[in-house]
Structure 1
Amino acid sequence: MTSLATPRPDTVRHDTPAHIAGLSLVNLAARQRMLSQRMILQTVLAAGGDTERLKAAQRSLQMFTESQQHLLGTVKQIEPAGAHRIEETYHGPRGVGPVVQSFMQLMRNALEQIETGHSLMARTIDELVGQTDRILEALNTATTAFDDVAKARSDAMMKELAGIVGDIQSVAKEAKVVSFNAQVMAARAGQHGREFAVVANVLSDITNEIDLLTRKAAVLAERSRFQ
């Protein structure tokens, strides 16, 4: 399953826009808030006759649209519980999907009217500015959902890692017992047990190394829980 963390280079689709490929889903969702406010400001300035701002607003809308499509597309790639949370956030009874879609359509209308000098341009701009708080609230809700999904997945991974470390430590303890018993038997065998003693000592060194590595892994796992 695809992680909510930043994608590895070998898992990034070749047709994924550059402004998306390097971002985690949480950061991408959070960036939508910034883009929404940037678009509104650019559109207001464009309405005053600034053609460069109009082009900038069009580019921002394109980025916003592509990012939104990418975010919604991840529902098919994440674990069922996380996918359900995102689906509910966007398409549930109080989902933010319609708010986001309405904002995007209103933004398209505003930019088209500015470009053509439509008589309803001023009214549309006023409506767009009036949507500022609503779209921010919707995008904040979406960002929180992605953040919760990422944290839940991280916690699950840390729990699984802790279990693996525990299993390795159990095996290492058993290996230590075997090594100790082998050393005792080699000592009792005297001259005939010299080669056996060498093997037992090597096994002891290996188990000590495994024990050291698992302790380090356990510390890292515990530290990750609080980051």
Structure 2
Amino acid sequence: MNAFKKTDKPTQHAMINSDLMVALINLSGRQRMLSQRIVLNILFSAHQPQAIVQAKEALTLFVQTHTLLVNGNHEYPGICFDALEKVLFGPDHNEAKIQQFIQRCTHAIDTFERSASLPESVIQTLGEEAGMIVTILNQVTMTYEHESKRCELVRRKKQESLMHSIQKIAKEAKIVSFNAQVIAARSGSAGKEFAVVASVMTDITNEIEQLVAAAMTST
């Protein structure tokens, strides 16, 4: 298995939409389940030889998903925010530990396929790896969840700021339309058409204010 490398993707710049974040959280959560399925099937293979096939399938899927989460593709962004990069490539060296887990599982599968048995040392190591890898994958999933909450908070603040800006513009437009109606009234018959336009403008600004109020209530 080739080790994955940290990508040069920009960090903390692009907002991830909520649907994509849910998909990333689900993929990350599935990795925890797969890691335990790999280990258990390897250990079960001593009594159920067919379990080694399931272990290989789970390991292949685990590696594919991890590659996707780290490097991304046309659909998924890979490592695209600082907190996740720190978890995987920071001082705890969790990415290296994940690679070590993959390599040891691969070695255990190869050993079993060659000799139809596993040394006690391999079994003990896999047992230790199982707990370690779950802790790391839990941390990765929690990082995605925290980023999801952060993104949602940023979106909400931006939406509120936009609504306030629209509200401010609508109020200014209402003042302009009111002044226009006053001028039109003073202009007599010459200002009738202008008065109609000013009235329509007032109706539009009222509608904008109602829509903004409804949008802010629903956030």
Alignment TM-score, normalising by the size of structure 1: 0.78
**Alpha carbon RMSD of aligned pairs, Å?**
2.5
1:1-227 equivalences under 5 Å are 1=14, 3=16, 5-7=18-20, 24-51=23-50, 53-73=51-71, 77=77, 83-117=81-115, 120-221=118-219
Give the paired residue count.
Answer: 203
Structure 2 Cα separation of the partners of residues 45 and 29 of structure 1:
25
| Partner in structure 2 of residue 224 of structure 1 | none
Cα drift, residue 207 of structure 1: 0.9
The 3-state SS of whatever aligns with 1:192 is: helix
Cα drift, residue 65 of structure 1: 0.8
The 3-state SS of whatever aligns with 1:24 is: helix
Corresponding letter in the other structure for 2:183:
M
Cα drift, residue 120 of structure 1: 4.1
Give 5+ residue unaligned stretches, structure 1. Answer: 8-21, 222-227
Measured against aligned partners, the alpha-carbon deviations of 1:134-173 in whole angstroms (never above 9, x if no partner) come to 1111111111222222222222222222211111111011
Query: Is the CA contact 2:160–2:216 (under 8 Å) kept in the aligned structure 1?
Result: yes
* More relative contact order, 1 or 2 (CA 8 Å, 6+ apart): 2
1:120/1:35 Cα in 2 relative to 1: closer, same or farther (>3 Å)?
closer
Measured against aligned partners, the alpha-carbon deviations of 1:106-138 in whole angstroms (never above 9, x if no partner) come to 111122222222554453233212322211111
Give 5+ residue unaligned stretches, structure 2. Answer: 1-13
Runs ≥4 in structure 1, deviation > 6 angstroms?
none
